[in-house]
């Protein structure tokens, strides 16, 4: 089973051969959308390009970007490149306001994405004898279902736990000997804390080996904290509904960047303001083109996710390009007193400080004040006030150094701040600016 999903003829393909394969697929998909999707044909015409202008892979730059807004023109079926009878699945992505984005998949699309997941799981060392507890949200969200299909394809035993009910999650882990979990990093931190508080011993009472964590940004420090608390290897798993859900980017055992399967996606990183391509090492917006999607292909889709391309061969031997851990979405960034800040920067500092527990919240209020509420270990609430004050000073000072802005820090007991079973909401903006 496992052998079938390790695909050396694709995963280890030389860069040149990989580019050739991509070009062949790109030509096909550009032709397809031009011929079958009026929305694309019109856009291409307005930009003055035709499929015949695509003479090399680099010529993709001649074609216009697809944005989130495009998904709402002729909503919901406008971007379909196949008749409805070929479409078997709808997923939506939350979209904080208004209508949800509607994404459609054919049978082939579902299978292809599941195969990418199976390939990624094998890359992390998983086999058919692993037991995956899938604690992402099932339903319209792609997160759980796509992983579920991929893990089943590989032959893993899948426990469709869904999120929440932490006591039951832990009970499932103990009863069935869960070896792998799939959840958001913020929920994993919470579960880890409860496991610790209950005196359950990772490695003895529960036998987790790997945690696949994604759906929201997190820092290297959070990864390390979860790895230590749960005695697991954490693999970063990135995806978005528009690209078929999780499994778009996945870490290999080198764990220094996420491979994007380039037989399925064409990867660009562009300057978010000008749309110009950026070099490896420069941070910009990830732009993806689906190379073998059938129902709803997306050309040069602006993900709004910020990252950078990592150059050079990977220790694991795979040739597919790597991106750095996602810094956040362009719209996650907030500005305090003229300084650009991503929540992940704050998280990175907090999670590296001893005494800080798993949860925090960023509150922006008044005329540009930033208060950070931080849960700290219970042992600090033993009446020795000077220990708490010292910790608060350390947290404040470390944040000031990292952010160049001095926040107000409030320390609270574990379990005080709202927990999230799905994507965490870290920033509350109540400013009167």
- Residues near Zn ion (CB under 5 A) are 252, 254, 314, 316, 318
Burial 298-319, CB ≥16 within 10 A → b, else e = bbbbbbbbbbbbbeeebebebb
Nearer to ligand ADP, 63 or 238 (CB): 238
CA–CA separation, 172 and 266 (whole Å): 39
Q: Is 307 one of the binding residues for ligand ADP (CB under 6 A)?
A: no
Could you say which of ligand ADP, Zn ion, none residue 240 binds, taking C-beta under 5 to 8 angstroms by partner kind?
ligand ADP
Nearer to Zn ion, 2 or 314 (CB): 314
Q: Is 296 one of the binding residues for ligand ADP (CB under 6 A)?
A: no
CA–CA separation, 183 and 185 (whole Å): 6
| Binders in 162-221 for ligand ADP, by CB under 6 A | 214-217
Among 141, 190, 261, 380, binds ligand ADP (CB under 6 A): 141
Nearer to ligand ADP, 236 or 289 (CB): 236
DSSP for 119-145 reads HHHHHTT--TT-EEEE-SPPSSSHHHH
Could you say which of Zn ion, ligand ADP, none residue 305 binds, taking C-beta under 5 to 8 angstroms by partner kind?
ligand ADP
CA–CA separation, 231 and 290 (whole Å): 36
> Considering the complex, what minimum distance in angstroms separates the CB of residue 23 from ligand ADP?
26
> Considering the complex, what minimum distance in angstroms separates the CB of residue 255 from Zn ion?
9
Nearer to ligand ADP, 373 or 425 (CB): 425
| Span from 90-98, 163-171, 201-209, 395-403 in contact with ligand ADP (CB under 6 A) | 90-98
* Vertex 343 angle, CA 337 and 349, to 5°: 95
CB 183 within 8 A of CB 163: yes
> Considering the complex, what minimum distance in angstroms separates the CB of residue 147 from ligand ADP?
12
Q: How many helices (H) and strands (E) does the chain have?
A: 11, 21
Among 63, 104, 238, 301, binds ligand ADP (CB under 6 A): 238
* Phi, psi torsion values for 209, nearest 5 degrees: -115, -40
User: Can you say how many angstroms the Cα of residue 423 is from the centroid of all Cα atoms in its chain?
Assistant: 10
Instruction: Convert residues 336-375 into a mask of x (bound to ligand ADP by CB under 6 A) and - (unbound).
Output: ----------------------------------------
Could you say which of ligand ADP, Zn ion, none residue 90 binds, taking C-beta under 5 to 8 angstroms by partner kind?
none
Number of residues counted as binding ligand ADP (CB under 6 A): 18
Among 94, 129, 174, 340, binds ligand ADP (CB under 6 A): 94
CA–CA separation, 127 and 154 (whole Å): 7
Nearer to ligand ADP, 19 or 329 (CB): 329
Report, in this order, helix, strand and coil percent for the chain, each rounded to 5: 35, 25, 40
Tell me whether residue 32 is exposed, middle or buried, using C-beta atoms within 10 angstroms of its C-beta: 0 to 12, 13 to 18, 19 or more: middle
Q: Is 401 one of the binding residues for ligand ADP (CB under 6 A)?
A: no
Q: In what order do the strands lie in the sheet with 408-412?
A: 408-412, 369-376, 356-365, 427-429
380: helix, strand or coil: helix
Could you say which of Zn ion, ligand ADP, none residue 329 binds, taking C-beta under 5 to 8 angstroms by partner kind?
ligand ADP
CA–CA separation, 73 and 205 (whole Å): 53
> Considering the complex, what minimum distance in angstroms separates the CB of residue 218 from ligand ADP?
7
Paired tokens of 421: 């079973």
What number of other Cβ atoms are within 10 A of residue 432's Cβ? 7
Among 106, 135, 137, 236, binds ligand ADP (CB under 6 A): 236
Could you say which of ligand ADP, Zn ion, none residue 254 binds, taking C-beta under 5 to 8 angstroms by partner kind?
Zn ion
Q: Is 303 one of the binding residues for ligand ADP (CB under 6 A)?
A: yes
> Considering the complex, what minimum distance in angstroms separates the CB of residue 12 from Zn ion?
11
Please give the residue ranges that form the binding site for ligand ADP (CB under 6 A): 93-95, 141, 214-217, 236-241, 303, 305, 326, 329
């Amino acid at each position: 089973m496992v052998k079938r999903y390790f695909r050396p003829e694709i995963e280890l393909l030389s860069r040149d051969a990989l580019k050739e394969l991509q070009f062949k697929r790109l030509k096909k998909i550009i032709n397809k959308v031009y011929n079958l999707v009026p929305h694309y044909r019109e856009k291409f015409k307005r930009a003055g390009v035709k499929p015949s202008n695509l003479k090399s892979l680099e010529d993709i730059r001649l074609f216009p970007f697809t944005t989130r807004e495009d998904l709402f023109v002729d909503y919901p079926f406008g971007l379909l490149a196949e008749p409805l009878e070929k479409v078997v699945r709808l997923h939506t992505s939350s979209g904080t306001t208004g209508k949800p984005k509607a994404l459609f998949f054919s049978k082939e699309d579902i299978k292809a994405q599941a195969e990418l997941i199976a390939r990624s799981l094998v890359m992390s060392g998983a086999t058919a004898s692993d037991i995956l507890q899938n604690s992402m949200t099932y339903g319209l969200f792609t997160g759980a279902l796509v992983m579920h299909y991929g893990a089943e394809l590989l032959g893993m035993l899948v426990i469709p736990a869904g999120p929440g009910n932490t006591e039951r999650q832990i009970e499932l882990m103990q009863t069935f000997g869960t070896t792998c979990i799939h959840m958001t990093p913020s929920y994993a931190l919470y579960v880890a804390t409860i496991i610790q508080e209950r005196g359950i011993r990772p490695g003895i009472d529960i036998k987790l080996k790997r945690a696949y964590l994604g759906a929201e940004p997190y820092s290297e420090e959070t990864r390390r904290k979860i790895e230590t608390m749960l005695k697991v290897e954490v693999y970063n798993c990135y995806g978005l509904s528009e690209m078929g859900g999780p499994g778009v980017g996945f870490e290999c055992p080198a764990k220094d960047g996420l491979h994007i399967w380039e037989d399925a996606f064409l990867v660009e990183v562009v300057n978010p303001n000008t749309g110009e391509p950026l070099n490896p090492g420069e941070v910009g917006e990830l732009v993806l083109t689906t190379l073998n999607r059938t129902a709803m292909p997306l050309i040069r889709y602006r993900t709004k996710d910020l990252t950078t391309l990592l150059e050079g061969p990977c220790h694991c031997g795979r040739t597919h390009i790597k991106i750095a851990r996602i810094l956040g979405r362009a719209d996650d960034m907030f500005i305090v007193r003229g300084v650009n800040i991503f929540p992940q920067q704050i998280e990175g500092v907090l999670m590296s400080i001893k005494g800080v527990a798993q949860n925090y919240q960023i509150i922006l209020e008044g005329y540009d004040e930033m208060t950070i509420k931080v849960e700290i270990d219970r042992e600090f609430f033993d009446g020795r006030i000077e220990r708490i004050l010292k910790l608060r000073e350390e947290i404040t000072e470390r944040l000031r150094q990292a952010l160049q802005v001095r926040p107000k820090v409030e320390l609270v007991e574990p379990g005080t701040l709202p927990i999230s079973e799905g994507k965490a909401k870290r920033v509350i903006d109540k400013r009167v600016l």
